[in-house]
Amino acid sequence: MRFAKLPEHVAMTLDGNRRWADAHGIPRKLGIRYGIKKTEEIMYEWTSRFEKEFGVKPFSELTIHALTLQNMGRPKEQIDELMDAFVETFSVARLNKSYKNVRVIFGGERHLLREDLQMEMNLLETATKSFTKYKFNVCIAYDGLAEIERAVKLAKDFPYKDISAKDLMYFPEAKPIDLYIRTSGEKRLSNFMLYYIGYAEMFFVDSLAEDFTYDQFIEIMDEYANKRQRRFGK
């Protein structure tokens, strides 16, 4: 298989963790961990496999919707389970040398998160800051509309006139999103990366997050690269 043109920036909403856990008769908190594992599998294993099979990177930048601002309104027990899983995952990621060459960048309302989670996020960003092969943007306590409103407000009050709203986004270096994938059959953006996603090609798959496969990913990449025409309104 050959790819005429691959996306530079891919964004994903890996939806359906709780439904997957219910369907498999396991506690939802374990479903959360399986969902996080799927995210890592895509970022670290699928990219490596794609490079070996096709000789090119599938993308340069990946953005994942880890936790929405609206999710923060769930019962405290559920939020604590999520944060426990994130703390453990980020700590292991920082210490695991197989994660080299992937720069991790977090975006969202960090002040709403537990202090131990904020610390792990900061440590992981620092540990991967010099890596250049891939960028891995993680949206956590995030809402795309709130991000835009925040940036516009900051830009208005900023003392330097040459600062734009884009410079004050959570991901000021992010490229426009080329390809967006959402699992679980849901067909909406849920305020995800609104500033960046305007001309993205959209793909919605029925599989729940944990059941989303590498072969499905390849099919999407093939359709994006070889079958869809991007005209950008022209």
Give the residue extent of every domain in the chain: 9-225
Domain 9-225 matching CATH 3.30.110.40: the answer reads no
Tens of pLDDT, residue by residue over 79-128, are 999 999 999 999 998 887 667 799 999 999 999 999 999 999 999 999 99
H helix intervals, the chain: 17-23, 28-40, 47-54, 76-95, 115-128, 144-157, 214-226
Tens of pLDDT, residue by residue over 165-215, are 889 999 999 999 999 999 999 999 999 999 999 999 999 999 998 999 999
Q: Does residue 157 carry a catalytic annotation?
A: no
Percentage with pLDDT > 70 across the chain? 96
Catalytic residue among 17, 71, 137, 215: 71
pLDDT for residue 24 is more than 80: no
Q: Does residue 15 carry a catalytic annotation?
A: yes
pTM, to two decimals: 0.94
Residue 5: Cβ-neighbour burial (10 angstroms; 0-12, 13-18, 19+): exposed
